[in-house]
Amino acid sequence: MKLKTISIFAALFIVAPNFFATKGMWLPNLIKALNYSDMQSKGLMISAEEIYSVNNSSMKDAVAHFNGGCTSEVVSNKGLLFTNHHCGYSQIANHSTVEKNYLRDGFWAKNFGEELANESLYVDFIVRIEDVTSKMLGGSKAEGESEDDFVKRKTAEITKELINGTDYMVKIKPFNYGNKYFAFVIERFTDIRLVGAPPSAIGKFGFDTDNWVWPRHTGDFSVFRIYSNKDNKPADYSSENIPYTPKHYFPISLKGVKEGDFSMVYGFPGRTQQFLTSYAVDQKMNKTNPARIDMREKSLEVINSTMKQSEELRIRYASYQSGVSNAWKKWKGENFGLEKENALAKKIEKERIYTERINENEELKKQFGLLLPSLKTLYKENESYQKAFDYYIEMIYSGPKSLRYINNFVSVIENAEKYRLAGSLYAEMEKLKKNYQDFIDYPAQLEFEKRMWKSLYSTAMNHVGKEFHPDNLLAQSNYLTNMDKIIDDMFEKSMFLSDKKLLNYLNNPTEKNLKKIKKDKGYTMVKSFYDALRGKVIPTYYSNEDKITELMKEYSKSIQIVFPTEKYWYDANSTLRVSFGQIEGSAPRDGMRYTHKTTAEGIMAKYIPNNDEFDVPEKLISLINNKDYGRYSEGDSILVICFTGSNHTTGGNSGSPVINANGELIGINFDRSWESTMSDVMFSEKLCRNITVDIRYVLFVIDKYAGASHLIEEMKLVETPKFTIKKDKIVGGIELPIQNSGVLKSLEKQMSK
Ligand code: ASP
């Protein structure tokens, strides 16, 4: 496409603002060029360099990707880190036992020595971000070099250049389906210790019922600390390590928020899909989401009833349950929002206008005219593969744990001869023995496993086309109606699931013994399942997906040409982003208006003694009844718990700092309202709100509830000014007129010193 054509073409259209692109999650290195004036007009008072700078310390140096999934933020010069309770959940669960039940009772280290190390937990800081598009897309392939090898070679070359002798890591990611590439230079810390966590009755208050729901009263936070070596550099766990001194840490505002205040969220959002076609939205709403919801409902029936049986089982499955139910409820909300906002009809209308415009211009028609029809055909062709993929993936993610456990054996045993030749077979067997021991030493779970298999496997088989079914089932007549018997038989006969014979074979992995393992009922069941997925579903599914991505690369590019006056952002892909908006409530349904904040009164209104989800710890009840909120109260007697804002967020933004116009921490992002979860596909100004736990509630829990005031002492708190300024006059306790905000800012700065 020649530039000249584009500009003439652009001039021909009067495009409604935000026809395709809505809201956004912006790369921080582009904020200065793309968003800064908009952010300022909405109230931001700090400079773009204070948000992102390569040469000086800036906010980005206090925002860390937490274990590759969530976000966390540094809040003291001793590497103290906040994230969500649900982000630190598996670490808290791992340290919990029936005797020391940190999940139930909370945990607070009294000093550095009591802070708990966590195996394989890490946090990543972004050192800098670079546009490497021309390097990635430029150049040409060497003779005989495949596309994949070409990309790998490029990636390795750029990575080497960017690392340049440092200890940093580099991640290069495609944006907009490969139209752009950015490289992220990363500093990874691997000694991250648990410092504190409230009891689940605070950190997860409301549990599944309240998850993804507003009004919310959850103290969803946990506290960790980054440790480094003596040179302040990343190092694996060592008792010699010391608390990390960060380049920047967030000052914490005790001033609270009010409706209309500027707010921004800085974090690592996982995935959005703003350019999805109507065919994809239809697929998602009407096929994929219902299939996955169905499988998770079946899974949750088994998990929830098992967890009720004993405290031991509750701890054992807590983390699994959280993961399964979190996505289940999200998909339900997503469908609700997409239906309510007529997302499908809107996409169809957009595509109609897009097509009309393309057809008006010969050159565009030639270049892009076949994109939508080809996408439509591909989605149709992929339908049965997609269905099989959805059910099989759910079988893996929310199904019996023994599926994955036995599969670990399959991949080693099928390659046993290779390991034997390499001399590592015994070492592999040792790993499997550990796997086996972890599993079999816990017989209480066998009943759980059996129920999972029965319920989920027959659901999957009843929906997935027969052509994708595993061979071991196809070999049996009437297997669909005999599923329970087949599973019972497997549990009775498989040495993976019932006795200790397997240990002898693993200790002595002769060819004969390995053959016996291969005949095991559990082994053949699991192997057949994975063979069906890998052999019958994935090759075509992935090849269709690749074709869709190729077409989407062109389609997303074409949208920006056809609707040229809009401001575009790159879909979230677990890279560092800033989104901004304001503190505001919402009106999600006819006749319903949500306020922007909740208070401690709401905790007491939801309180149900001894209830799994809504019990409240005694000490918290007493603090609330006495309105003993200390410096964390709003006015004399209100404790704000959570608030909502119109910041575009998604999964991965959990734990993100929510920041006010002065760059101070006002809360920790942890969720969206149910009606908002559609924002991964389409952001609705009316519906979409992120949910934040007010930082004053976090500090109140640490200080007044847990008595961990030594942690508060590490932080830099910014108190409410005792007076404000009006028309150049200092007036006690009067609200600030906007036009004097600059003056107030400097005054507040002085006061907070
Ligand atoms: N609750 C989400 C998470 O777990 C955050 C969100 O999707 O808004 O990451």
Task: Give the whole-angstrom CA distance, residue 434 versus residue 201.
Answer: 34
Can you tell me which atom of ligand 1 is nearest the CA of 672? 8
The lowest-confidence range among 66-80, 319-333, 688-702, 717-731 is 717-731
Q: What is the mean pLDDT of the chain?
A: 91
- Tokens at 212, concatenated: 């993804």
Pocket test for ligand 1, best of 330, 671, 690 (most atoms within 8 A of CB): 671
Per-residue H/E/C for 292-333: HHHHHHHHHHHHHHHHCCCHHHHHHHHHHHHHHHHHHHHHHH
Q: What is the reported pLDDT for 363?
A: 95
- β-pairing, 665-672 vs 723-726, is unpaired
pLDDT at 333 over 60: yes
Can you tell me which atom of ligand 1 is nearest the CA of 654? 9
Verify whether residue 612 is a known catalytic residue: no
Can you tell me which atom of ligand 1 is nearest the CA of 270? 9
Q: How far is the CA of 211 from the centre of ligand 1 (A)?
A: 10
Q: How far is the CA of 36 from the centre of ligand 1 (A)?
A: 26
Phi, psi (degrees; rounded to nearest 5) at 557: -70, -40
In contact, 665 and 609? CB cutoff 8 Å: no
Q: How far is the CA of 669 from the centre of ligand 1 (A)?
A: 8
Which neighbouring-strand residues pair with 125? Answer: 64, 187
Say yes or no: CB of residue 669 within 6 Å of ligand 1: no
> For the segment 460-495, what is each residue's pLDDT rounded down to a tens digit?
999 999 999 999 999 999 999 999 999 999 999 999
Centroid of chain to Cα 540: 28
Q: Look-up: residue for tokens 């945990």?
A: 107
Q: What is the reported pLDDT for 283?
A: 97
Angle between helices 483-493 and 521-531 (to 10 degrees): 130
Q: What is the reported pLDDT for 173?
A: 96
- Confidence label for 731 from pLDDT (cuts 50, 70 and 90): very low
Q: How far is the CA of 221 from the centre of ligand 1 (A)?
A: 13
Task: Give the whole-angstrom CA distance, residue 314 versus residue 305.
Answer: 10
Q: What is the reported pLDDT for 720?
A: 67
User: Mean pLDDT over residues 497-523, rounded?
Assistant: 90
> For the segment 571-590, what is each residue's pLDDT rounded down to a tens digit?
999 999 999 999 999 988 88
Verify whether residue 86 is a known catalytic residue: yes
Task: Give the whole-angstrom CA distance, residue 648 versus residue 665.
Answer: 18
Q: How many residues does the chain have?
A: 753
- Confidence label for 19 from pLDDT (cuts 50, 70 and 90): low
> For the segment 31-56, what is each residue's pLDDT rounded down to a tens digit?
999 999 999 999 999 999 999 999 99
Say yes or no: CB of residue 656 within 6 Å of ligand 1: no
The lowest-confidence range among 193-197, 252-256, 396-400, 589-593 is 589-593
Say yes or no: CB of residue 671 within 6 Å of ligand 1: yes
- Confidence label for 675 from pLDDT (cuts 50, 70 and 90): confident
Q: Dihedral of the CA atoms 327, 333, 334, 335 (nearest 10)?
A: 120
- β-pairing, 123-131 vs 63-66, is antiparallel
Characterise 47 by phi-psi region: left (phi > 0), alpha (psi -120 to 50), beta (else): beta
Q: Which of 370, 374, 435 is nearest to 409 (CA)?
A: 435
In contact, 91 and 118? CB cutoff 8 Å: yes
Say yes or no: CB of residue 71 within 6 Å of ligand 1: no
In contact, 181 and 172? CB cutoff 8 Å: yes
Verify whether residue 441 is a known catalytic residue: no
Which neighbouring-strand residues pair with 423? Answer: none
Say yes or no: CB of residue 278 within 6 Å of ligand 1: no
User: Mean pLDDT over residues 289-318, rounded?
Assistant: 93
Calculate the alpha carbon distances from 283 to 278, 355, 378, 521, 698 in Å.
8, 21, 12, 36, 41
Per-state percent for the chain, helix, strand, coil, to nearest 5: 50, 15, 35
Domain range summary for the chain, segments of one domain joined by +: 59-250, 389-537
Pocket test for ligand 1, best of 579, 650, 658, 693 (most atoms within 8 A of CB): 650
Centroid of chain to Cα 103: 21
Q: What is the reported pLDDT for 439?
A: 80
pLDDT at 734 over 60: no
**Residue burial 395-425, b: 16+ Cβ < 10 Å; e: rest:** bebbbbebbebbbbbbebbeebeebeeeeeb
Cβ count within 10 A of residue 140: 7
Rg (CA), the chain: 28
Q: What is the reported pLDDT for 730?
A: 47
Q: Return the percentage of the chain with pLDDT > 70, whole number.
A: 93
Calculate the alpha carbon distances from 454 to 125, 295, 313, 638 in Å.
44, 12, 20, 51
- Confidence label for 15 from pLDDT (cuts 50, 70 and 90): very low
- Tokens at 118, concatenated: 């966590």
Task: Give the whole-angstrom CA distance, residue 9 versus residue 361.
Answer: 8
